[in-house]
Structures are given as structure tokens and as C-alpha cells.
Amino acid sequence: MKLTLSVIKADIGSIGGHEKPSEKVLQTITQHVKENAPGLLLDYKIFWCGDDTAILMTHTKGEDNSEIHKMAYDAFFKATQVAKSQGLYGAGQDLLKDSFSGNVKGMGPGVAEMEFEERPNEPFLFFQADKTDPGCFNLPLYLTFTDPMFNPGLFISPILRKGFTFTIMDVSHTDGDKVITLSTPEDLYSIAALLRDHDKYIIESIKVRETGEICAKVSTSRLHNIAGKYVGKDDPVCLVRVQKTFPDTGEVVSPYGIGHFVAGDNRGSHNTPLMPVKWGTMPNFFDGPAIVSAAGLCMHEGIMTEHVDIFEGPTWDRIREKIADKWVEMRKQGFFGCAMLGLGELEYTEIMDHLEELDKKFIVRK
């Protein structure tokens, strides 16, 4: 059966600062999706990570379907009214346009979708991150799909050995989607050269080279490119199909043990390690660190099982402790140097007005 797995997410307001959506906001989203599911969706699940809520859906309407996108947008719009009535912080933060125009792309919410022929066993992972941006997935996806130190399947499996096709987007380009398609193993170093700039070049999708099957998809929006000012980071989502002709679950999650530094955290302006956390964990120190949760599920004819919490468990507890140490050490440096993002990333925030004022006060000595 050919179906589409869609996830559409937004931050439409949260309790106590940018912490988590209220129960009433979550109930409103869930109720709207439930009422509109018959005839539209095969199945759905609601997740939240930090202050962002995600609607995970299966259906047969394909990617970029306006009915699906409108339903999700309306759920977030309705919940925004609730967020406002409760005085939640940042109510409607990610809804940048008042009226829906066919597709949530460019309107604020993040979206990742993949259409595929469902396998007899269809295990997949859903990742959701807060206090960061889609570039946070560049390194873990690169390592899983290119490096046998993280993924022995690359030499064990005859299909994986043939490599993958990466589609990478230049998200600084706002006039249409600017993308490049590169294949492993021959383009390995070109892919690395692009992915190091994780604020500009973002992995959009990865396909298995041998079969052309879609394996991974990331939400690639850039809120500040749409809004023209800082409105919050594009806290991203990522879908990865696993096992058999794809990397297995362990191979997909192994790079998250690194706690690599990503952009985000307080005011979206800092470098922060990415901490893999259990579902229901909020950002916890200095509006950070950046956090990522992962759900493992299976589906049959689009009906999803309950999920397992991938970052639960004693090894991850130990990894989290080490990442917390790394985080606290970095925070000792406060605003200074590499602790904060460079001006290029801050250029949509109010600091630029301040710097312009200061610039006028400079004198050039003769």
C-alpha cells in the first residue's frame, strides 16, 4: 500500500516562558485532529518536545497536500486562540500568516513528509528537537549514512554498501527551494564540505541509491527568512525509516551519543550541545541545552503502533550526564566568543539595532 507519513509542527505558545505547551493547548490540537481525521487520515499521534507540538499523520493523499496541511494549520490556529486566552508566552509564535494559502511551507510551521510503498514490516523513527534548528540533524545523519564507525551496516549490507543520495538545501536562498543532489561514496567530501555550515546547508532527504527508496526527511524551513526577524528557532523534526534495506535503529541513533554542538538555546543565539532526552523533558538550564527526543514505531496499512522512547535507558542517562557537563562548561564562558552564535546568525535579532547605534558613535582617528 502506498501511503504518506507526514509530520507538521509548530510552537503556538507555552507555559513559563519557552518551556512546554499547556494541557489545554495540547487537548485543543488533539481534538481538532480527531474530529477531522475520518476520511482524511489513516492514523495520527500528537507529540511535544519543549514548547513545540507535532502532529504525526499517515494518509494516502501524498506530500504537500493542501487538505492535510490546512487541517494541521487550523489545529494550530485554533490552539493559538486557547494559548492567547490562557496568556501563554509566544502565543501564535510560529503562525506567521493569518490566512492559509494551500501549503504550510513558508507560513511558519515545520513539515517533513515521505510517500512510500509500505513494507510488510514498517519500522521508523520520529525525531523532534527544541531550542535548535534543522541543521542539528546534519551531523548525525551524515555519520549514520556515511561512516562505518557509527554504522557497520554500510559494509555488512550489500544494498547499503552501494551508498545513498543526499538532497541538501541552501536555506539562505528564500526565492524558491535551492537544492543539490549528491551521492555517496564518491561525493562524501563534498557533502561534508556543505554540511559543516549547518545554518546554511541542511539535509532535506536521503534516499537509498540502489532502490531509490526514501529513507530520511528533515523539516527545512527558516523562520527568520520568512518573518524577516527573529521569532524563535525552527525547532525541527526528522523522519527515518529503519531496518532491512535501511540502517537499523541502533545505527541511526548512535551519533546522538556525541552531544555535538548546534545552534540554538537561549534567544536562539548560542552554541549548545544537542542532548538526547526522554519524551516529556523540557529545556532545563539557560533555556537549553538543545534537546532531541525520538519515538520508534511500526505501522501496518498506515495504522501506527504505540511508540517506544528511544532515548530512555541507562546508557543514555550516562551520555546525558556527560553532555550536561559539556554544557555547563560552555556556559561558564557566557556571551564570549564561540559560546554565542556569530553575527550572521544574529542578524535578525534586536542586537543589530544596538550595534548600528554604536557604530554611529565610532570615530575614525586621523
Residues making contact with ligand 13P (CB under 6 A): 11, 18, 50-51, 90, 93, 130-131, 232-233, 235, 248, 250, 266-268, 287
Of 36 and 93, which CB lies nearer to ligand 13P in the complex structure? 93
Min separation Cβ 235 and ligand 13P, Å: 5
Residues annotated catalytic, as ranges: 11, 230, 233
Of 108 and 259, which CB lies nearer to ligand 13P in the complex structure? 108
Is-contact 137 218, C-beta < 8 A? yes
Site for Mg ion in 83-102 (CB under 5 A): 90
Of 157 and 183, which CB lies nearer to ligand 13P in the complex structure? 157
Site for Mg ion in 49-68 (CB under 5 A): 50-52
282 DSSP assignment: P
- Out of ligand 13P, Mg ion, none, what residue 94 binds, judged by CB under 5 to 8 A for its kind, is none
What is the DSSP code string of 88-153? -BTTTTT---SS--S-STTSS-EEEEEEEEPPSSEEEEEEEEESS-GGGGHHHHHHHHH-TTT-TH
Is-contact 17 287, C-beta < 8 A? yes
Hey, what's the cell of 83?
494559548
Stretch that binds Mg ion, among 17-25, 120-128, 220-228, 265-273 (CB under 5 A): 17-25
Pick from 285, 288, 308: which is nearest to 298 by CA?
A: 308
Min separation Cβ 181 and ligand 13P, Å: 29
Spell out the residues 6+ positions from residue 285 whose beta carbon is closer than 8 angstroms to its own.
324, 327, 328, 331
What is the DSSP code string of 306-340? PPEETT-SHHHHHHHHHHHHHHHHHHTTTTSGGGB
Min separation Cβ 131 and ligand 13P, Å: 5
Stretch that binds Mg ion, among 8-16, 55-63, 77-85, 139-147 (CB under 5 A): 8-16
**Which positions from 115 to 154 touch Mg ion by CB under 5 A, shown as an x/- string?**
---------------x------------------------
